[in-house]
Structure 1
Amino acid sequence: MKTKINQGLCVLALLFIGLATGSAQTLNKPTPADNPNLSGNSEWQNACASSNFNEYFVNFTWNPPLVASNNEFILELSDASGNFSSPVELARIADKNQVFDFDIEFQLPEDTQGEGYRLRVKSTNPEKVSEVSDSFAMYYIGYNSPILISKDGNGTIPPGGVIDLCDGESLTLATHNVSNANQYNYSWYRSGTALSGNSNSINITEPGIYYVEMNYGACSGSANTLSNSIEVNINAAQGVAINTPTKTVLCSEDTVTLTANVQNQGYTYTWYKDNQIIQAGTLEGYSFTVDAANAGFEGDYQVEIEGSGICVEKSDAVTISSAGSFTVALDNTNGIALLPGSTETITVTTDAASATYQWYKNGTAIAGETNASYTITTIGDYYATVTETGGACTSVTKTTETVTAAYPAAMSIAIDYMTTYAPCENTNIELEVSSITATDANGNTTDVTESLKADFTYQWKKDGAAITGATSSLLSILNAEENGTYTLEANLESFNLVSNELSVVLNANDPITITADGTQICDGVIVTLSTDYDLNNVDFEWYKDGGKIAATTTSLTVTEAGNYQLKVLTNGCPTLSNEIVVNAFDESIVQLDKESSIVIPEGETTTVNATGADSYVWFNEANENLSTSSSVTLTEEGTYLLIATIGNCSVSKTVTLAFRDNFDIPNVVTANGDGVNDLWIIPNTYSRKANTRVIIYNENGEEIVNQLDYQNNWPNSTTGFTKKNQLFYYKIVEATKTLRQGTITVIR
């Protein structure tokens, strides 16, 4: 017990000395300490942690005066280069505020990897930082198993652990069984020689035997991570190509043999046409025969070789084409609606060098019809043959598609919007004939839009009434005044067609603007919304925060904060107005640059500035107007009133000015209840200040008062005293700055 009393006296003496002299605490750098849970001397030099062991200690010392009772000591770790720009908290100690030498236990975070870590200790009250420690190698050995490597980390180890490359090619080897691989450092080797780089992958351009292990620096001896080995061979390219063939343009009876320039009994050959395999890998299959008798023989041919000690190579392409390769096409394949007494001409096109023609009807040649065009006068199925009579090959013939000409038993017409259309979004639109369909007696339909659209006569109608001058296959609707339902009548000989109906609802795009006589709502003040848009004889709705409100008046009285809009239905389309935001009045908008209680020396002046309002009026206690600007200069004691106005709303603020007390801070209080000097009264320079803190300690160094805006009310009636004459210590602090400190003797 005597030792504890002496320690308490020492602590009190140190605190008093620190208060009297104004000295500050000194935090010494942390140093490695012995682990009390391990036998022998376990003071660490490098920290090599793992899931099996992660318990370390540092010793920390500091010098008085005492820190605050709510202080905490924080042990922090730098990054791997010793930088504390983003320190990691390792431990927080709150029960050593009267102990000047103690050990702190900590664990390494799992991402710790490096040689230059440092430690430091911070205190929270007062805020101080120790000198940083020496540098230490620290590693958390999170991975401690053999590593597996493969090409691109794909997880497939090559057969025999060997990969062949061609000269000039490169290869990436990477780990494939290490989770969170990027958080570790690695050491790569080629045939026993260390390589540069520390990532989990490496780019290879040289032959050798490659392997990797984790680089745990000074802790590497604690891990077993050596990987499998992969041998990389660099092989020379063979320069494979296809020998120049005897011909590359074939007639139907021709063949040609393609041969690789590299021929070796041990090599495998794969042949391609248009990048598709046509002959799978074949040992010594260095030739391939192209037969023009096979349909689709034309194309680009390549050969690929592979084998022991060589690169896998593919040759450039050799193009084989047909001598009789030409195209034929009809200018109309959609079907022909042949009206009685009418004719239709169809034409075949071709790129044959020297062509002859023959037309057919229903599979039978039409005598004498050997031109590129033919005029149809009767119904039937028509096609043409085209024969190439010149060039390397003779009498190659191709047949066109078949086109059907039929008398229509019925016809129909359809109209559609020319461009994308959505009701109430478009401001204009065009309508057009989209299709004309002919149906024969058997119910077969043919699209005859292109062949007959120009032959019909047209009349557009709106809501059943003919539109004057609208007699083409296209109709432009330019504004919302033309909204309605549209149809088209079309006539050709005996066919009188009526189209489908199309509804058109265009947006009038009339802007609607609402205005407000204010944007702030406060006691007794409302906001009125209105518009210049004529709302008579139209449907409209008021909205608040996106929801319709029950208001039917052309102007709106607003009593709640929110976002307001007006929706008007014009020409069948809803149109939204601009949005007006109405806010509840916030008195905190108005700010003063001084506190509400101001103390100045007698004879001096002070200026108070206000911000945030539209207008200002300052009054003294006699209700006299001192200023109508945002600032006022005060010279006399008293209470002053500011009326600040924002829109239709106002806010009041008061400022009290007092002259500074001239008496000093007392160091004796006679708390005997006689009404004289019973309380510790300090000058108004320090009392009743929102940013000034008063702290009082008892003789044991215990904090008994910690108060902002001290009200000159200590000691109160419940304060207990253990002695007739008792000593206390005080500090007066503003932020982190100590303004005054000393002792108080309470006499009872």
Structure 2
Amino acid sequence: MLIPTPLTQFILGICLITVFMSKRANAQVVISTPNLGFSQACASESFNTFNTTFIFSPASAIGESNQFSIELSDAEGDFSDPVIIHTTNAGEVIVSPTTLSFSLPETVAGEGYRIRIKSSAPVATSSRSIPFAAYYKAQDSPFTINNLVSTGAFCSGGSYLLTIDNPGNGSNDSPLLYPNLTFNWYKETSPTTSVFIAEGPTLSVNTNGTYFAETNYGTCTSNSFSNRVIISEAIAGEANATIASSLGNPFCPQQGFTTLSTIGGNSYQWFKDGNIIPNATDQMYQTNESGTFSVQVDLGDCSASGSIDLISELFESSIDVAEYNEMQSEETLLVNVTTTAQNPIFEWYLNNNRIASATEATFQASEFGDYSVVISETSGCEASIEYVFVIEEAFDLFPDVEKIPNIISPNGDLINDTWIIPSEYVSGTNTEIIIMTNRGKVVLKTNDYLNNWPEDDLNLTSINQVYYYIITTTDNQTKKGSITVLK
């Protein structure tokens, strides 16, 4: 058996003291209660960064591999199953005090959350922070209930069901699209106060009052609330069926159809200007017209009715030319538009090309082609109306020709399609014109020739047909000849 020498005993003692002191240092590392840099954590897609500051001592005891973690409790402050919401890199934090940033999970919703700090080398855990409210506001904008209809009614002994709209009307961002959210319903007790009624996406009401809903963000609640709805009990079996227009009233038809909505019931029938609208039997009805719209609602043991004088803000306008117009090459056509549009802009086009110089309500057209004019209202409804029209070269029925032609080709190309004779024989001269087939059958006899023969299909075959004419003037001068009709 070896007996330790004094030197060996000294070295062994130093090692034991070192180990003892190391263990003692680990046991004495303390992490302070985290100090919150906020009073409530209202997170959202655009903001989800929060800070906490803590002290650890002694700082020299922190190992090079140490990582600090931030743990989040449940909504009641319990750490039985904590969630790690931030972890530092190994050796990243060596100076005390220190501040760390973290983000909250999208599932947080409650008033009693806490955080605590843990270290890994050495292992230590801080005390819990003070409780704080934490909510992730996935939706934080006003939403609609009851299809934005401001009233509802129930029969005596019955109830009225209020619901959060999904997806709602127009740009309504329904909170029902976010599965983690819950909702609270309230009844107004004054213009500025209210009382909590119930939770859930719907509310059955059997008491008169004004009701609304809020997304349940606790003390973080701000903008996620609904419109108010006034609920009343039907009196004498008849209730007021308020009608709401999704685009407002007046409405701008340029935005599309407006949706008319009324109170909820068992069945519905819509009317326009006192006349029943076939198949309009739903709670909502779409239209882009003006008029007096009314509805009858069956509530079960009673009924409701209501009406709205719906006004379209689309301006009135007109144009003073036909869709198809003719003029001679040396002529022009004056076109005028009139409108009730506010601050109108006029844009004229020829063959789909903008006419830069044409910006007024009047335009002098001098070319043939396809025209259009767009009238735009630049304030109010900001709508547009377009008119299209065509100007073609007028066909001269009585051109100045020298000789009587003996060939025509009625093929629809507007060239030599009819038998055009000198003006001394046409309408107004009382000259008699007779045209016969090669068998002597008279096909035209007139003293008012309009240069328009043949007006009807001659049933041409593959063989050119020959006709004969006799022209007799008022002084009994006669001209005769043949007309060959080319196929």
Confirm or deny a common fold (TM above 0.5): no
TMscore range, shorter length: 0.3 to 0.5
TM-score, normalised by the number of residues in structure 2: 0.39
Q: Which has the larger Rg? A: 1
Could you say which structure has the higher strand fraction?
Answer: 1
Higher relative contact order (CA 8 A, sep 6+): 2
